[in-house]
Each structure stands twice: as structure tokens, then as C-alpha cells.
Chains A and B, each alone.
Chain A
Amino acid sequence: MTETASGETAGHAGDVLRVEHIAKNYGAVTALTDVTMRLGKGEVLGLIGDNGAGKSTLLKILCGFQAPTSGQIFLDGREVALRSVDHARSLGIDAVYQDLALVNQLTVYQNMFLNREKVRWRLVSNRAMRREAREHLDEMGVQIPSVNVPVARLSGGQRQAIAVARSVFSDPKILLLDEPLAAMGVKEGAIILDLIRRLKEEGDVSVIVIAHNYAQVLAVCDRVNLLQGGRITLDKRSEETSAQALTELVVAEYRKALQARIAS
């Protein structure tokens, strides 16, 4: 059932990101065995897989939070060693974790400009930041009552949208979204899906989305990669597969693992 289309992963000239034979061990535990994947310019790639398949580990490696045990990462065809989150960010890779980087007590615009505040005479120019935050959010189609409310008062979807909008602010080349749809209602999730769609239309930023809901992933992504047991076991364009096919693959793998465990 290794459906990996090796022709696809071999690399295209226009790839912003290429990952080759990445492995990651935590002591005796292997989180990633051998991951090879690519991300085209302006592409939205869905990364799916069961819990414990290694999605989060892969994301942490790509955003510079952890170093891989072995393997190579290429940005625009050049090999890079991501030393830290800051280093990855300076190379244009930005990750959005669930909620992690928003300060509840600060307002929407203060969060959007966190550590990038506009300053005049050493005083922050609230008016300019409010206006720009408003314009930026409107441009991205993020609907919130006001940029002056503390983010604590917003819904999960709105908060996630603001976190995504903020990363886009810094003009990343590659955006990594860690389960942006987790614990979110249909209406909430729609805000994020719209946002990702809009990013895709603009085409300046390439996106990797980690998600659980296959139907939502297929609706918004150009391509999906399935991560199973520390490898990419499927790489297909969204229109070539279906939520049901993906579910069956994951369930089959799960059953196989279960049988193996029972047998031993």
C-alpha cells in the first residue's frame, strides 16, 4: 500500500521546499523514519495522518524548533540547516500553532503588531496600528467586531484567523498551520478555510496544513500527503482522491498495526 508516487517527490524546478529522507529519533523511539516530500510555489499541501504518525514532529523540524536526526531540507533548491525558530523565520518559514502566540489580555491590533509595534518618538502609534490591522484583516476577509477588543473575547475561529493573518503580515514564503481546524465548529472552521483559500488565490505564500478532517483538507488543499508510521505513504492531488479513500487507508494501517501487536 505504499502509493508514494516517487515521480512526484523527485522534485520540480519550482519547489519552494523540499525535504529528503528526514528521520527523527528521540532516544530509542523513532518518530520519523524516512520522510521525503515537496511543496510547490503557491501550493497548499494538506498533511494528514493518525495521531502519533509524526505530523507534529515534522512540523517542529520544518519550523526550526527541533533538528532532524538525519536528512536534508532544501529551500528554493538550496540546502539549509534550520538552527532555530528565529532562523527559520528569517528564511521565510513561519508556523502558526493553535492559540499559542496570542496574548489574551491584549487587543487584536496589539497582538497583530506584537514585537513589531509602530513607534513614533518612542511612543507606540495606536492609531496607525489600528488602521493597518483593520485594513489587513479586511483584505484577508477576517471578520471581527473591532480591532480594539482583547482577543480573549473572540471565538476560537476568530483567534486562529488572527494568528494566521498575523503571520501573513510578516510576508512569509512558507506558512505552516498546525491543526488550524482542531476543536472548531463548522462555522468557525469555515473562517479558516476561507482564509487559506484566499492565500491560495493570491499565490505568494505556500502553505502546509496539518489537519484531521479529510473532507475539509480536500476542499482547500491542492495536494495531500498521508503520513503513516514515520513515512509519507501517499501523495496525491486532491481531485485524485476522496475523504473516504483516505479514511480507508488510515483504518487499514491501524488494523494492520493492531494485528501486528496482537500477533507479537
Chain B
Amino acid sequence: MFVIAVASFVGFWLANSAFVSTTTLTVTFNNTFPAIIIIALGEVFLLICGEIDLSVGFVVGFAPFFTHYLDDFYHVPGLLAILCGLLLGVVVGWVNGFLTVTVGVPSFITTLGTGFVLWGTMLYTSHAQPSGVPANIAHYGAWLGGGNKYSWLIWAVALTAVFHILLTRTRWGLHTVSVGGNLLGSREAGIKVARIKYGNFMFTGVLGALVGMQTMWYISSIDPNSGSYTPMFNAVTAAVIGGTAMLGGSGTIIGAFFGAIVLADLSVGFAVEGVSANLLYVINGAAILIAMVANVQLARLRERGGR
């Protein structure tokens, strides 16, 4: 799976070499890529443990508005408002976990529902109008990914490293794989299955909120269009073309990292070429299909090889 991620990356890169310029590279890696990978980190964990979060894109949209409301209308101090915005992501994750794990609604449905609720709330309260970033919130951006042009990328790479270690070298990561690979067996072994799933929903939520804030700092505005289903689709796509199994049990952060690079490169590259953004969806879809077909074929070959 890792091989495919790298191969597709190199392949797309060569094919796109015509529009690799410093400006496009800057946009690709400092803006588009971090937004995809940071959310993908959460989705990888969720997909591995057998769940999915369709609502995270709407957390991206609502978190900065929420922060702005708290600051401007309720006079909550800037830093506290930012923390509350991030906390919103945690709460949404908890609600997703509660409805999925405790109540027993499949996460596909749960998060579709919470996603729409968030979307509507954001559009209704903001009157679907963009808003400026409050001054006492704007200056925190320097530390949180909206500083110099590389700071968002640095956040993305640092978080990728942290989540890679979390997945491969901690009990949490092992148990996430275990829960997705054999739910009953994990319970048998005494793993607190519910805790793992709740936790991964909350990780995804807070990462979505973080990306929402970082987008706000990056574009110096709070845009009702910046959060919708797109950030979620991109993140899930990055995870899946990076080799994470939709049915749980396996996946890698590194794979998603390359998947996110491929997607970011494609979307910026096509924009530069003047190709309609709408066509990008076709490319994304094709990328998923090609990656998955290759995965299935490779697995079949491996099986035939006996090992």
C-alpha cells in the first residue's frame, strides 16, 4: 500500500512537472496540503478502528465562527475563545462517539446527521456571510499555523510525526488497529473498545476545528464556504489512496501523508492550468478507484504468491 502511495505520488508528480513552479509549490505545501493531511490524520485513526467521520468538514466551517461569536458577542478573551473553538471539535467528536458507540447508529449515518446540523447552524447564524477575523484572535495565528508562510506546513509535518508515533508505537495505536481488525477479540482481550472509538472521534473533531482556525488565519477571513463536505472528502481520499482500509484494521499515517501530497498537488496544479475545479472531483474519484483497484490486485497477487 505504501508502494502504491509513493508510486502514484511520483507518477502524478512527473506528469505534472510542467506546472511545478515556486508559487504553485508554495501554495500546494503551505496551504492546500496541511488542510488535507491534518484532518486525514484523524480519519486514518477512525477508518482503522472501523468508523468514519463525515461531519468533520462542517466542524472546519463552524469552529472559527463559534470562536468569533464568543469573542465579539460574549466578550470571551481571545485565547479562551480559540480554546472553546477547538473544544467544539472535541464535543462534536464526543457526540459522534456517543451516537455511534453507545446508541449504536452506524457512524456513516451519525456523522452525516451531525454534519448537516453543524452546516445549517453555521449558515443560519452567519447569514451565510463571511466575517473578518477579530483582532485579538488574529494575532494568535502567528503561533498556531497562520504565522510566516511555512508555519502551517510545520504544524502539519509535526502533527503527522506525532500521529505516526501514536499509531505505530503506542498502545492507543495498537488497540485502534486491534478494534478495527477484530472487535470481538479485542473486547475478549479486555481492550476498552468504546474508549478507543470515542477517542478517535474526538481526535478527528479537534483536528477539524484546528484546520478551521488555521484556514481563518491563512485567508484572514471567516468564510462560510471554507468548510463543507470538501475537507472531509479530501481527507478520506488521502487516507484511502494512502492505503487505509475502508473496512478497518489497517492503514498508515505515512500513506495518508503521501496521499495528501498527491491531492494537494493535483488540485493546485489544475487550478494553475486553468482547468475547472469541478473537473478535479473527477480526478479525485479516479485516483481513489485506481488506488483501490491496484490495492486489491496487489493483495490478490500476494495471496497467489503464497505469502
Name the distance in Å between B180's Cβ and chain A's nearest Cβ: 8
Q: Tell which of B171, B174, B184 touches A106, judged by Cβ atoms closer than 8 Å.
A: B174
Binary CB contact string for chain A from 94 to 133 against chain B (1 if under 8 A, 0 otherwise): 0001001111111000100011010100111010000000
A106 to B48, CA, bound (A): 12
Which chain B residues lie closer than 8 Å to A86 at the CB level?
190
Contacts of B185 in A (CB 8 A): 100-103
B307 within 8 A of A: yes
Shortest distance in angstroms between B103's beta carbon and chain A's nearest beta carbon? 23
* A153 CB within 8 Å of chain B: yes
Chain A residues whose C-beta falls within 8 Å of the C-beta of B171 in the assembled complex:
115, 117, 119, 124
Q: How far is the CB of B165 from chain A (nearest CB, A)?
A: 7
Q: How many A-B residue pairs have CB under 8 A?
A: 58
User: In the complex, what residues of B have CB within 8 A of residue A110's CB?
Assistant: 174
B191 located at the interface, meaning its Cβ lies under 8 Å from any Cβ of chain A in the complex = yes
A142 at the interface (CB under 8 A from B): no
Q: Is A85 an interface residue (CB 8 A)?
A: yes
Tell me if B170 counts as interface (CB < 8 A to partner A): yes
Main secondary structure, interface of B, reads: helix
The answer to whether A124 and B249 have CB atoms under 8 Å apart is no
Q: Is B177 an interface residue (CB 8 A)?
A: yes
The answer on a CB contact under 8 Å between A103 and B181 is yes
- Give complex CA distance A102, B180 in Å: 12
Residues in A neighbouring B188, C-beta threshold 8 A: 85, 97, 100-101
Interchain CB contact under 8 A, B169 and A106:
no
Expressed in whole angstroms, the Cα–Cα distance for A105 and B165 within the complex equals: 18
Contact A115 B189 (CB under 8 A): yes
For the complex, give the distance between the alpha carbons of A199 and B165 in Å. Answer: 38
Please give, as numbers and ranges, the residues of chain A lying within 8 Å of B174 by CB-CB distance: 106, 110, 114, 117, 124
B170 touches A106 (CB 8 A): no
Bound-complex Cα distance A86 to B187 (A):
10
B151 at the binding interface (Cβ < 8 Å)? no
Q: Is the CB of B169 within 8 A of A123?
A: yes
Contact assessment for A103 and B169 in the assembled complex, using a CB-CB cutoff below 8 Å: no
Task: Write out, one digit per residue, whether chain B residues 161-186 have a CB within 8 A of any chain A CB (1) or not (0).
Answer: 00001000111001101101110111
Known: A123-B165, A124-B169. A115 touches B182 (CB 8 A): no
Q: How far is the CA of A207 from the CA of B239 in the complex (A)?
A: 46
A interface residue count range (under 10 / 10 to 19 / 20 to 34 / 35 or more):
20 to 34
Provided the pairs A115-B175, A123-B165 are in contact, do residues A103 and B170 lie with their beta carbons within 8 angstroms? no
In the complex, chain B residues whose CB is within 8 Å of the CB of A103: 177-178, 181-182, 185-186, 249
Q: In the complex the two chains form, is B182's CB within 8 Å of A101's CB?
A: yes
A122 CA to B171 CA, complexed, in Å? 8
Q: Is B237 an interface residue (CB 8 A)?
A: no
CB of B111 within 8 A of chain A?
no
Question: B190's closest neighbor in chain A, by CB?
Answer: A115
B307 touches A102 (CB 8 A): no
Q: Across the two chains, which residue of chain A brings its CB closest to B175?
A: A115
CB nearest neighbor in B for A104 = B181
- Within the complex, the shortest CB–CB distance from B91 to chain A, in Å, comes to 26
Q: Are A105 and B250 CB-contacts (below 8 A) given A123-B169, A124-B170?
A: yes
Q: Which residues of A contact B184 (CB under 8 A)?
A: 100-101
Q: Are B189 and A114 in contact (CB under 8 A)?
A: yes
Name the residue on B nearest A119 (C-beta). B171
List chain A residues, Cβ under 8 A from B175.
115
Q: CB-CB < 8 A to B169: which residues of A?
A: 123-124, 126
Q: Is the CB of A153 within 8 A of B307?
A: yes
Q: If the complex has contacts A106-B178, A115-B175, A123-B165, are A101 and B189 also in contact, measured as CB distance less than 8 A?
A: yes
A103–B165 alpha-carbon span in the complex (Å): 20
| Most B-side CB within 10 Å, residue of A97, A114, A117, A119 | A114
CB-based nearest B residue for A89: B190
Supply 26 A–B pairs (Cβ within 8 Å), ascending by A: A85-B188, A97-B188, A100-B184, A101-B189, A102-B185, A103-B178, A103-B181, A103-B185, A103-B186, A103-B249, A105-B180, A105-B249, A105-B250, A106-B177, A106-B178, A114-B174, A114-B191, A115-B175, A115-B186, A115-B189, A117-B171, A117-B174, A123-B170, A124-B174, A126-B169, A153-B307
- Which residues on B are within 8 Å of A, measured CB to CB? 165, 169-171, 174-175, 177-178, 180-182, 184-186, 188-191, 249-250, 307
Write the residues of chain A forming the contact surface with B, with a CB cutoff of 8 angstroms: 85-86, 97, 100-106, 110, 114-115, 117, 119, 122-124, 126, 153
Further pairs besides A85-B188, A124-B171: 16, Cβ < 8 Å: A100-B188, A102-B185, A103-B178, A103-B185, A104-B182, A104-B249, A105-B181, A106-B174, A106-B181, A115-B175, A115-B189, A115-B190, A117-B171, A117-B174, A122-B170, A124-B169
